[in-house]
Structure 1
Amino acid sequence: MKSILIVEDEAAIARVLGAYLKKAGFQVTHAADGIAALEVFEASPPSLILLDIMLPNMDGFELLGQIRKISSCPVIMLTARDGIKDRLAGLDGGADDYMSKPFIPEEVVARVNAVLRRPSQWSDGSGKRHFGSLFVDFSARSVFLNNAEVSLSPRDMSVLLFLAERPNQICTRDQLIEQVWEMDYEGSDRAVDLSIKRLRQALSHWPAEEGEIRTLRGTGYQLWTV
C-alpha cells in the first residue's frame, strides 16, 4: 500500500485530507510541523508528501530543501500562499506540483494519483541518471542517447548537466549564467538561448514522450521528463 505523509499544522485540514486519501486506498501519516515531518520522513519514507508552506519550527520551503538533499520522493505543495513567486520557489526547489488553498479534496487525491503514476527518473547511485533513452553520467561529463554518445561543447554540456540535476524544475537564465558562465560571462542572456537551441538540436532524436528541454517564457528553462 502506498503511503502519504501530510505535513499540515491545521488539524481540520489534515483530518479531511487523511479521510479522503484513506478512502482512496492510501496509508496516511500526519506531522504538524517541519521538524516532526523530517523525523517521520527519515524513519519511514512515504510514497509522496503533501506539504504546507507555513509551518511551525521549519517552514515548507526549508523542509523541501532538506528532503531534496537525501531523496527524490514526490512532493505536492498545498498552501494558501498562491503568489507566482511562491509557486516558482516551490517548483524550483524541487516540488512536483503546487496546489492552492482552498482546495477540493477529490482534486488533491487526483493530483496525488497523477504524480504517483509518473515514471520516475532513476539513478544508480554513482552519479549517473537515466531519462528514458537519455543517459547522463555526471562524473564523466558525458551524455548518451539511444546508446550513442552525444557530442557537446564543454559549455553546452555544463548547461545540460545543470538542468539534468534538476529535472522538472524551473531554471532561470540568471541561475544558468551564474552557475555555468560564472565570471567569464560578459554578454547578454542571448548566449543562454543559443546554448539551449544547440542542446535541442543535439537531442532531436530524444522521444518527446520521454522528455524535452522546455522554455518557460519570461521565466527560464527546464528539463522536463515524465
Structure 2
Amino acid sequence: MRSHILIVEDETRLAALLADYLQAAGFTTHCLHTGTGAVEWIREHQPALVLLDLMLPGTDGLDICRQVRAFSQVPIVMTTARVEEIDRLLGLELGADDYVCKPYSPREVVARVKAVLRRTRAERLSPPTTDAGPLWLDDDSLRVRANGGTIQLTAVEYALLKALVRAPGRIFSRARLMERIYDDHRVVSDRTIDSHVKKLRRRLAEILPPGQELIHSVYGVGYRYEVSEDQRPSP
C-alpha cells in the first residue's frame, strides 16, 4: 500500500511540483492551499506524513502543528524560510519531526520524507523497551510511563530517549545523538541537541519524583543516561 502524504502549501505551483516528485517516488498525495481545515482533514484521513508550510493563509503552520499534536503523532515535516524558527519546528515546542528550509530542491524534500518515514516505521516495528530503570517505553505509541504517570513524546524526543536508555552509562556526543535522531547526516548546531535534551528533561519531570534526574550532562562531551540503584523500581 502506497503511503499517503498531505501537502499543505499555499504556493500552488510549488505544491504541484512537490506532489509530482512525491508521486514519482511512489507516494500518493493530497494538496491543501490554506491552513483552514487542515487539522480536520488530518483527523479524518490520517495521512502517513504531513508536509506543512510555516506561513499559510488562515491557520498558520505553527498552530496546525500544535493542534495536530493534541490528538496525533503523525510525522510532520515543516517547510520554512524563517531560519530563526528552526528550533521550535524541531519539536522543541510544537512537535514537528523535521524541517526543510526554503529555497529547497524537491529531491531534498522527498529524501527528508523518506528518512522520517523510515525512522518512525523502524521505531514502531522494534520490540518495546522495558529495561530503562524507572521508565517503561512503548515503541508502538511513543509513550513513556513511570510512577503511574504517562507522557506522550514526539518521534524526535522518543528517538533521543531510546538512544540513551539502550546504553545506560555510555556517554553520547551531541553529534552521535543527532545521528541517532536523523539518518540523513545533516549538519546542525550543538544548541539543537541541547534544546532537545532540555525539552525531554522537562517532559520526564512530569512523571518522575521531584529532583530525580536520569539524563546527565557530561561537561564538554555530551550526555548519558544513568539510573542509580535507589531509582530502580522495586521488584
Question: Which runs of no fewer than 5 residues in structure 1 stay unpaired?
Answer: 123-129, 146-156, 186-190, 204-226
Q: Structure 1 residues 195, 5: CA separation in 2 closer, same or farther (over 3 Å shift)? A: same
Contact 1:134–1:143 (8 Å) recurs in 2:
no
Tell me which amino acid in the other structure corresponds to 2:130. Answer: F
Deviations along 1:108-145, whole A, 9 cap, x unmatched?
A: 111111111113545xxxxxxx97442399xxx95358
Please list every run of at least 4 consecutive aligned residues from structure 1 whose deviation after the TM superposition is greater than 6 angstroms: none
- Within 5 A, what are the aligned runs for 1:169-180? 169=157, 170-171=195-196, 173=198, 176=201, 180=205
Identity over aligned residues, as a percent? 34
Give the deviation of 1:34 after TM superposition.
1.5
User: What SS class does the counterpart of residue 26 from structure 2 fall into?
Assistant: coil
What corresponds to 1:135 in structure 2? 130
State the distance in 1 between where 2:60 and 2:196 align. 22
Q: Structure 1 residues 66, 121: CA separation in 2 closer, same or farther (over 3 Å shift)? A: farther
What corresponds to 1:89 in structure 2? 88
- State the TM-score, normalizing by the size of structure 2: 0.60
Residue correspondences, number: 170
Tell me which amino acid in the other structure corresponds to 1:134. Answer: T
What corresponds to 1:197 in structure 2? 216
Q: Structure 1 residues 43, 11: CA separation in 2 closer, same or farther (over 3 Å shift)? A: same
Contact 1:47–1:74 (8 Å) recurs in 2:
yes
Give the deviation of 1:12 after TM superposition.
1.3
Deviations along 1:135-179, whole A, 9 cap, x unmatched?
A: 399xxx95358xxxxxxxxxxx68x976x6345245464885698
Give the deviation of 1:70 after TM superposition.
1.1
- The alignment's C-alpha RMSD in Å is 3.7
Tell me which amino acid in the other structure corresponds to 1:107. Answer: E
Tell me which amino acid in the other structure corresponds to 2:59. Answer: M
- State the TM-score, normalizing by the size of structure 1: 0.62
State the distance in 2 between where 1:96 and 1:50 align. 10
- Within 5 A, what are the aligned runs for 1:107-186? 107-118=108-119, 119=121, 121-122=123-124, 132-135=127-130, 142-144=134-136, 165-169=153-157, 170-171=195-196, 173=198, 176=201, 180=205
Question: Which runs of no fewer than 5 residues in structure 2 stay unpaired?
Answer: 138-145, 158-194, 218-223, 229-235
Tell me which amino acid in the other structure corresponds to 2:86. Answer: R
